[in-house]
Amino acid sequence: MIVWPLLFLLTIFLSFSLLNYRTKYILKQVLAEENINNFISQSSSNSLISVLGLKTASDKVYDPTYEVVNKYLTSYKSPMAEESDYLVKYALDFEIDPYLIGAIAMCETNLGKKSPPDCNNPFGLGVYGKKTLCFDSWADSFHLMAKTLRIKYFDRGMETPEDIMVVYCPQSVQKDGAWAKCVNRFRNELEELEKQITNL
């Protein structure tokens, strides 16, 4: 009489074990198929991106300009150094060479060190006699300078320091183009620094 209950319990146990095994097996199969599908999907996407020549987050190219400008300003102990990234950002936003803007700041105010007190104006923008244009931050002056160069100069075909000088610093034209020579000199310094940093 005891045998039958034991056989019954054994049967239930074996059935449950077999069911559990099959469930795990099926689950593994499902997960394996899902992983394969994901892999195929990802591979297809990457192939398509590659074929189309599109860029992904992992394709970001190192831009040394930020490092160059920061190191340059820091080496000259410029008060603008902490906001140097904004100089590069706004220059690139308006499609202006950041080194050109940095060189102008060097020639105008020794990279901000000779800017009017508490004005954050390293470019001499809006400075006429006793009238001085001041900014809340260096970054604000970088933005206006980049915008000014784009709208009032580059969009009108004046892109070189020699062309810009005629309007930006006309008195220098009679001084053998001293302003343009100054800008070119320090712009070259920045370009040389980039070569050193990138080992070109």
Residue 146 neighbours by CB under 8 Å, 6+ apart: 90, 91, 93, 94, 96, 101
Q: Are 79 and 112 part of one and the same domain?
A: yes
Q: Are 190 and 136 part of one and the same domain?
A: yes
The larger pLDDT score, comparing residue 5 to residue 55, is at 5
| Least confident piece of the model among 4-18, 87-101, 112-126 | 4-18
Tell me which of 56, 81, 99 is where a domain ends.
Answer: 56
Other Cβ atoms within 10 Å of 85 Cβ, number: 15
Task: With a cut of 50, say whether residue 50 has pLDDT above it.
Answer: no
Structure token digits, residue 198: 């990138």
pLDDT score recorded for residue 33: 59
Looking at the 3D structure of the chain, how many domains does it have?
2
The parent domain of residue 184 ranges over 65-198
Tell me which of 11, 31, 56 is where a domain ends.
Answer: 56
pLDDT score recorded for residue 146: 98
Read off φ and ψ for residue 128, nearest 5 degrees.
-135, 105
Tell me which of 56, 74, 90 is where a domain ends.
Answer: 56
Residues forming beta bridges with residue 128, ordered by sequence position: 131
Q: Are 163 and 130 part of one and the same domain?
A: yes
pLDDT in tens, 72-100: 999 999 999 999 999 999 999 999 999 99
Q: Are 71 and 117 part of one and the same domain?
A: yes
Q: Are 27 and 104 part of one and the same domain?
A: no
Residue with tokens 């053998």: 176
Q: Are 46 and 71 part of one and the same domain?
A: no
Q: Are 96 and 172 part of one and the same domain?
A: yes
Q: Are 145 and 71 part of one and the same domain?
A: yes
* Residue 93: CATH number of its domain: 1.10.530
Task: With a cut of 50, say whether residue 170 has pLDDT above it.
Answer: yes
pLDDT in tens, 108-117: 999 999 998 8
Q: Are 168 and 76 part of one and the same domain?
A: yes
Q: Are 25 and 73 part of one and the same domain?
A: no
Predicted TM-score (pTM) above 0.75: no
Q: Are 99 and 43 part of one and the same domain?
A: no
Q: Please, what is the Cα angle at 189 between 186 and 193, to 5 degrees?
A: 145
Do residues 149 and 164 lie in contact, with contact meaning Cβ atoms separated by under 8 Å? yes
Q: Are 94 and 153 part of one and the same domain?
A: yes
What is the pLDDT confidence band of residue 10, given thresholds at 50, 70 and 90? low
d(CA 50, CA 39): 16
Distances (CA, A) of 112 to 7, 101, 133, 186: 94, 12, 14, 14
What is the pLDDT confidence band of residue 121, given thresholds at 50, 70 and 90? very high
Do residues 120 and 136 lie in contact, with contact meaning Cβ atoms separated by under 8 Å? yes
